Amino acid sequence: MTQSPASPLPSPQERRRLREACSLTQAQVAVRVGVSSETVRAWESGRTTPRGGRREAYARLLTLLAEREQEREQERAGDQEAVAKPEVTGHQGGAARNTRPAGPAAVTPEHPAALATEDPAAIRAEEPPPAPGPRPELPLTPAQAFDALYAFCAPALVRQTYLLTGRRELARESVERAFQLAWQRWPEVARDRDPAGWVRATAYDFALSPWHRLRPRYRHPEPPPSDASDRALLDVLLKLPPPQRRTLLLYDGVGLDLPETAAETEATTPAAANRLLHARAAIADRLPGLSDPAELHHRLAELAATERLRAAKPTMVRDGSERRARFWTRAAIAFTVALIGTTALTLRTAPTQYEPPVPPGATVRGVPPRVAPGPLSDKELKLRAKLRGELQNGPERLAPHVE
C-alpha cells in the first residue's frame, strides 16, 4: 500500500491489443503481474478493474508493452527506408559509396577482379556493423529469485501486517517468519501461481495466531500512532473480528478481487462479501467520513505509510531460515538417538519372563470367633416342649413298629 495516486490504465480493448501485439498470452501476463489468468481475462473484458499494487504492476507492464511496440514500428520504418534507398549510406565528410572516380583506375564491386585487388581490411571497414541481437537472459539463482521476491513484497507486507495486528514488532516478526518458511520450501513457492500471495497468507496466519497473547513481550499494547485520526482508525480496525479485519485489509487495502480475497481467507465468495460489508458498516458507524471505499483505501494507505516500518535484509532472512532448519534438524537427530538408546537399554535390562510378586502374609482381623452350642434357656425349653406336644397339621406320620 502506497500513497501514490492510482496509475492510469488504457481501455480494456487497448489492453488486449497491446498484449496480442507483443505476442503474449494471458497466462504470461498473469505470471508477470502475479494474478491468475481469469483475473487478466476479466481486466481485458472490462468486468473488473485492478486495484492497489496489482494496478501499479499492470500499468507498468502495459507501458512497457507500448514502448516495445513503438520501437518495433520505428525499426520497421527504418528498414523500409533502407530498402527504398540502398545506395545512400553516409561516410565521413558527406561522401557516398557510389562517388568513386570513373576511369581505368576505378574499381567497382560489380567486377569480380575488384575483390582480389581491394584491401580486405577496407572491405570489412565499409561493411555495416551487425545489429546487436538480444542477449540471452541467464536464469536467476534461487537466492536471487528469493531476494527479488523479498524486495518486492516485504516492505508493503510489513505495513499491512501492522494494520492487521497493531503491533510493530509482531508485524516484522510475522513477515520474517513467513519468508523464512518460504525459503525452506522455495521449490514449492517458486512454482506457485502467486508467490506473493503465498507469503502474504503465511504472514497473516502467523500474525493472527491466538498464542501470541501468552508471550510476555506481547501481553501489553504498544504505543498508538501520534495522530488522532490514525489512532481512531487503528482502534476501529483492531476491534473488528479477525476474519472481517483480514477481508477488509485484502480487499480495500491490498486491492484484491472478491474471489481472490475469498480464496486467500479460505471462505466462500458470499461469506467474504458479508464479512466485507459488516466491516465497512462498523467503520462507517464509528467514522462516518470513511463510508466511501475509495476514501477508506486512501486512509488505510496513509496509516500504513505513517509508521515508517522497515523489513530486515533478505540475506539475514535467508541466514535465519537456514539456522532454524539446522537447529530443528539437529534436535530431531538428537531426539531420535536418545529414543534408540533408551529402547536398547530397556531391551538389555528388562527380564525375559514375567514373575508376579508374592505378597507378604497379613493377619485377618474383624472375624468373630466360632462359639459351641451351650445349654438352652428356660424360654427355649418351654418352646421345645410346646412344639413337641402339639399335633402337626397334615397326614399322620407313619412310624415303623418292630413286630
Written in H, E and C, the secondary structure of 363-377 is CCCCCCCCCCCCCCC
Residue 129 domain-assigned?
Answer: no
What total number of domains does the chain contain? 2
Domain of 275, CATH number, reads: 1.20.140.160
Residues 203 and 273 in one domain: yes
Q: CA-to-CA distance for 117 and 107, rounded, in angstroms?
A: 9
Residues 200 and 294 in one domain: yes
> Of 6, 18, 12, which Cα lies nearest the Cα of 47?
12
Boundary-marking domain end, from 261, 287, 306: 306
Residues 70 and 173 in one domain: no
Domain of 17, CATH number, reads: 1.10.260.40
Residue 311 domain-assigned?
Answer: no
Residues 149 and 296 in one domain: yes
Q: Which residue is associated with the grid cell 556493423?
A: 129
> Of 308, 201, 213, which Cα lies nearest the Cα of 256?
201
Residue 56 domain-assigned?
Answer: yes
Residues 172 and 286 in one domain: yes
Q: The domain containing residue 211 runs over which residues?
A: 142-306
Residues 149 and 294 in one domain: yes
Cα 265 to chain centroid distance, Å, stands at 11
What is the residue type of 220? H
Residues 174 and 285 in one domain: yes
Residue 337 domain-assigned?
Answer: no
Residues 150 and 22 in one domain: no
Residue 368 domain-assigned?
Answer: no
Residues 74 and 191 in one domain: no
> In the chain, how many H helices and how many E strands?
17, 0
Q: CA-to-CA distance for 286 and 274, rounded, in angstroms?
A: 19
Q: CA-to-CA distance for 153 and 57, rounded, in angstroms?
A: 12
Residue 213 domain-assigned?
Answer: yes
Q: Which residue is associated with the grid cell 445349654?
A: 375
Residues 184 and 302 in one domain: yes
> Of 232, 334, 328, 335, which Cα lies nearest the Cα of 287?
232
Residues 191 and 67 in one domain: no
Boundary-marking domain end, from 306, 336, 359: 306
Condensed to tens digits (0 to 9), the pLDDT of residues 102-144 reads 443 433 444 433 333 344 444 344 444 555 545 555 677 888 8
Residues 152 and 14 in one domain: no
Distances (CA, A) of 44 to 41, 49, 60, 82, 375: 5, 9, 16, 38, 121
pLDDT tens string for the chain (403 positions)?
A: 444 456 788 888 888 888 888 878 888 888 888 888 778 888 888 778 888 778 888 888 989 888 888 888 888 777 677 656 544 444 444 433 444 444 434 334 444 333 333 444 443 444 445 555 455 556 778 888 999 999 888 988 998 999 999 888 999 999 999 999 999 999 999 888 889 999 999 999 999 998 888 888 888 878 888 888 888 999 999 999 999 999 999 998 888 888 989 989 989 999 999 999 999 999 999 998 888 888 888 888 888 888 777 788 888 888 999 999 999 999 999 999 999 999 999 999 888 888 888 888 888 777 777 766 778 888 988 988 888 877 666 666 666 666 6
Determine contact, residues 9/54, Cβ cutoff 8 Å: no
Boundary-marking domain end, from 65, 81, 97: 81
Q: CA-to-CA distance for 176 and 376, rounded, in angstroms?
A: 100
Residue 119 domain-assigned?
Answer: no
How many of the other CB atoms lie within 10 Å of CB of 298? 17
Tell me phi and psi for residue 129, to 5 degrees.
-65, 145
Residue 299 domain-assigned?
Answer: yes
